[in-house]
Structure 1
Amino acid sequence: MECAAKGSGTRCLGPARKRCGRCGAVSYCSASHQISHWKQHREECERLEQQMRRLDLLNDFPFTFSLESTHQISEKLESRCSFLSKKGIHQVGMWASECCCGSSVTSFDNSRFESDTWNLSNILCPCREPSSPIAKSLCSWKDYYEWRCIPLQSPVSLLLHWPLTVYQAIQIAGLGSLTSEIRKLRIHYLGPEKELLQLAVFGELRALFPGVLLQIELIGPAVPHHRDGDKIDLHSYAHCIEQDCNCKYENENTSCGVGARTSSVVTLQLHRGYYHERFIDISKDSLPHLVIAPNAGVAAYASWLPTIELIKKMNVPAVFSDYCEEACHLAACCINTVTSQPPRVPIQLNPFRQPMVVEDSALHLPCYSNCFLFAM
């Protein structure tokens, strides 16, 4: 962890081992740096203290591997690499981008996506239709695993946090009831990066929204030039490694290649560039029902400002997520500066955040992909 006062003037004197005695969320290399940084830290210290009190809630997952994927990685007793290796999924297929030594978006080549298999047995993954229709709103990972009949030792939540966060965003935006009334739900999904290597997992939205055609436009600068405009129809779920599983026959009979069919329940289309630059072309026929910006980092990138202005003019629900509560707070402040309005839906913990902590975060607060949500 870096010294919180790094770059503020004088050179750091060593590792940042001296934590703030009040909030405990930031560390310093020396007492002198802590004193000099107090003017800046004072404004956030009480807020960070409140966030640190919710550590147990942040780390609360129902999985048999939760201790390894949260506390042990935070304390460097485990790493993301070692955890994935124990599960037999390190640098394999869709899992390859889940650690620092894995694939990056630059490997996103001319194929439909890097992999459409879980690299897991059919007992451990949702490779087929659910055994029963979704009967109620899902409120937790436990709810989801029970509905999909998946044992709690399965690591699939590490990838399913993408479609489940889309599910949660639809709920908190108040569009859940709309899905039973319309045939097509249009979503603009901003800033995709790692998920470009994991697109097959979005096929799970077929089970979450039965009978609804989901049209998801993924827009962001990480989309490679040669994939700009690509359309991907997901007619089936990501499949397992069992050769005799029914999911293989389903996949063969309902091919999910690019443009293979037009009746897909989930259609993804890729667009390179910033949202405010591509919006007119993408929305020439109709506005989206919802805008989603996962792990947005609004406060970190000035490029968000014209996009926020555009979303305000559109008057369409927009849900943002980020790695920690503080990042969402800073994002909400930035959005308030542009819109002169507080979040329409206040910052809240995402029950479907990825249950593996981010290594080497800037704060002592644990960070998780899609950890907190809010909406404008």
Structure 2
Amino acid sequence: MPPNPTSLEYFKDITKEAQRLAAAEAAGTSTQAFDFSSTVSCSQCGNLAETTKACSACKAAVYCSQKCATAAWKTRRHPKEKTHKELCGDNKRHMLRTPAFTAVLTQFPWGRVEKDGTFSVDLARGRFKVLGGKGFGYWSHRGGPVAHLPAGTLAESLQKQGNYAPIVQQMLKAFDYLDGSALLETQHPNDRDAWKLEPELIPFLNFSSLWSPPRLATKVEIKDWDSWYSWRRLPKESPAALLLHYIMSVYWLVVDTLRVADPKAGKPDGPRVQLSIQYLGAEVELNFLPLFGELALLLPYTDIKLTCFGQAVHTIVSRAKASHPKSLAARASPTVPVYSYTAPEENGSGRIQVFLHGTAAYWTPADADPTSPYGKPNAIVAPNAGLASYPEWFPVILHAHQEEIPFGTTEYAEQSAETQLELFPTLLQTEAAQPGSVTRRRPTDREVEAIRKAAVKRWEYGIEMNPFQRPGQRPVPTKLPNVPNGFTVRVVGK
């Protein structure tokens, strides 16, 4: 079992165990004694359980007792939540994807599947000694399950979920870390200092005679991790996918899901392609914003404007302006990017500028207006969104439909994506009926009806397995495929 996640020594303990595991593998000795399976919580009551039993029909939901299994089959925990009886058939269909998800993970030498089917990303990072908070370059993060959510939101959401809440509260204290802390510095680190890996494992953006750039992206087809690693001339031993899944998911959303960009669209002797992307819900990504430079390599002859929105963005910009006036984040404005990168000429000289929208915690429709400082985007993207779970998304969904702005997201699980899309007709009608405001005009009756009709056609929305998902199953109270950036969702297409 892994070390106690509430211990301040957790990062060190995991790294030590990971080094022992790597040594055993290198020596060819047995690794059966190593088990980093997660302590499972019941799908019904939420309590942690030493042993659980999966549903005999779908093999997905897990329960601590027959009592909980019976309750889940018959009753709803929340008024709009489905019973397991209603979900079981879909669960069985979703479970058919399990081998494909496992294959994404096991193509990597560090892609270990634990006995409970989960993947310990902390263990994988421990192999490379890049597990920790401040001082670990691009890898710096909050620990345990709090790495991608504001502490207050996570703690509040788990207050009533069995005996897990006290553990989360302890973890929040043990792993307090401000996303975007690197932006409180005056400049970005170089590739080697930020990645903290051996050079042969780093996907360099700043090239030299030793580290040459990849082939021009128009000459290759980059469609999954295998083709990306080959194009980047990286061995699969590199853990780059554990960070780059955010950037590559944006690439896949704009190129495949929304089709607002094309690596072959730009020409060396033609006008440059202009691409404006609004990135909503940025959190842990603030720790490695320079990695978005990869998009400039992937989209030759294209000028990319990427604007980040979110509570964590507002927090770091506010902190910077108050106490770090010369920092990268303090300089953030609609006209001053916090990061810029231009790809080499032989790679199509693609350019990207990353902006922080730090004046408010949440996106509003006014931010996508053509007259706003940021202008109307070509696309809105949001990683691991949970669209129907947070009211902050409702005006985004409505406005994207209303103004026909291509909008794509990723979700952890196929089940949650499908459930959310089923709620869209009601959600959109309710949101459209809200009175207008300074930041949003009230839709006309014709627009409301058009939105309603579009939302009713559920299968117009596309849900696909994301080839650039983060490898490995999350430790959640279900056996369903569930990984960061696991599925792409087309909310509004072109």
Could you tell me how far 1:65 is from its partner in structure 2? 2.2
Task: Select the residue among 61, 81, 86 that pairs with 2:127.
Answer: 86
Task: Select the residue among 150, 172, 197 that pairs with 1:120.
Answer: 197
Counterpart residue number, 2:184: 110
Could you tell me how far 1:64 is from its partner in structure 2? 3.1
TM-score, structure 2 normalization = 0.63
Contact 2:365/2:395 (<8 A) preserved:
no
Task: Select the residue among 94, 99, 103 that pairs with 1:51.
Answer: 94
Contact 1:161/1:354 (<8 A) preserved:
yes
Indicate the SS of the match to 1:22.
coil
TM-score, structure 1 normalization = 0.82
RMSD across aligned positions (CA): 2.9
User: How far apart, CA to CA, are the structure 1 residues paired with 2:56 and 2:197?
Assistant: 45
**1:290-301 alignment runs, 5 A limit:** 290-301=379-390
Could you tell me how far 1:104 is from its partner in structure 2? 3.7
User: How far apart, CA to CA, are the structure 1 residues paired with 2:312 and 2:287?
Assistant: 11
Contact 2:247/2:292 (<8 A) preserved:
yes
Contact 1:188/1:219 (<8 A) preserved:
yes
Change (3 A) 1:280 1:209: closer
Could you tell me how far 1:83 is from its partner in structure 2? 2.0
**1:312-331 alignment runs, 5 A limit:** 312-331=401-420
Indicate the SS of the match to 1:298.
coil
Q: What is the aligned length?
A: 344
Could you tell me how far 1:195 is from its partner in structure 2? 0.7
User: How far apart, CA to CA, are the structure 1 residues paired with 2:423 and 2:54?
Assistant: 28
User: How far apart, CA to CA, are the structure 1 residues paired with 2:176 and 2:288?
Assistant: 11
Contact 1:2/1:16 (<8 A) preserved:
no
Indicate the SS of the match to 2:391.
coil
**1:93-104 alignment runs, 5 A limit:** 93-97=137-141, 99-100=143-144, 104=177
Could you tell me how far 1:99 is from its partner in structure 2? 4.4
**1:186-335 alignment runs, 5 A limit:** 186-227=276-317, 229-230=332-333, 231-235=337-341, 265-271=351-357, 272-276=360-364, 279=367, 284=372, 286-335=375-424
Contact 2:368/2:377 (<8 A) preserved:
no
State the Cα deviation string for residues 40-61 of structure 1 (Å, max 9, x = none): 1111111111111210011212
Change (3 A) 1:33 1:104: same
Could you tell me how far 1:269 is from its partner in structure 2? 1.0
Contact 1:294/1:321 (<8 A) preserved:
yes
Which is bigger in relative contact order (C-alpha 8 A, separation at least 6)?
1
State the Cα deviation string for residues 198-229 of structure 1 (Å, max 9, x = none): 11211111110122111011111121435164
Tell which structure's C-alpha radius of gyration is larger.
Answer: 2
Could you tell me how far 1:353 is from its partner in structure 2? 0.6
State the Cα deviation string for residues 137-190 of structure 1 (Å, max 9, x = none): 311111111111111111111111111111101122122348426432000111
Mean Cα deviation higher: 196-205 or 219-228: 219-228
Task: Select the residue among 53, 77, 80 that pairs with 1:18.
Answer: 53
Gaps of 5+ in 1: 238-249, 251-262
Counterpart residue number, 1:258: none
Contact 2:313/2:356 (<8 A) preserved:
yes
Change (3 A) 1:112 1:335: farther
Gaps of 5+ in 2: 1-39, 75-82, 145-173, 319-331, 429-450
Indicate the SS of the match to 1:165.
helix
